[in-house]
Amino acid sequence: ILNVEQSPQSLHVQEGDSTNFTCSFPSSNFYALHWYRWETAKSPEALFVMTLNGDEKKKGRISATLNTKEGYSYLYIKGSQPEDSATYLCAPPYILTGGGNKLTFGTGTQLKVEL
C-alpha cells in the first residue's frame, strides 16, 4: 500500500496570491505521479502526469515539479483566481499486470481563493 501525503490539507488565499502545495510519496519503485484538479460537482480533471526526476510541467498559471529521489512534488499556482478554487489531488499509479493503472490518491489540498 502506497502512503501518499499532501499538505496543507486546506489553504485560503487572496485573489492574485501565488501559492504552492506538496505531495509526498514513496520514492522507491517510482513510475509516475498524476496531479488532478477536482471542483465540487465536477469530474476530477487531469492536470499533469510526471515521470522524470526534475520534471517541470506547466498548464497556464499552474506548474508542477518532481523530485523522485526524495519523493515529493510541488504544485504551484501563480496569481490565484477564484476559479482555481478546488481540491488538488496527487496520485502515483501502480501499473497493473493486465495493463492500465491503479491510482493511490493523497488526501488532497483544498484551495479556496477569495476576492
Partner 1 sequence: EPEVTQTPSHQVTQMGQEVILRCVPISNHLYFYWYRQILGQKVEFLVSFYNNEISEKSEIFDDQFSVERPDGSNFTLKIRSTKLEDSAMYFCASSDIQGIPRSGNTIYFGEGSWLTVV
Binding site for partner 1 (CB under 8 A): 31-32, 34, 36, 41-46, 49, 51, 89, 92-93, 95-108
Q: What gap in Å lies between CA 115 and CA 113, rounded to an integer?
A: 7
Per the CB < 8 A criterion, the answer to whether 37 and 86 are in contact is yes
| Residue with Cβ nearer partner 1 (77 or 92) | 92
| Residue with Cβ nearer partner 1 (28 or 43) | 43
Helices and strands (DSSP H and E) totals, the chain? 0, 12
Provide the minimum distance between the beta carbon of 78 and partner 1 in the complex, in angstroms, as a whole number.
23
| Residue with Cβ nearer partner 1 (77 or 91) | 91
Provide the minimum distance between the beta carbon of 106 and partner 1 in the complex, in angstroms, as a whole number.
7
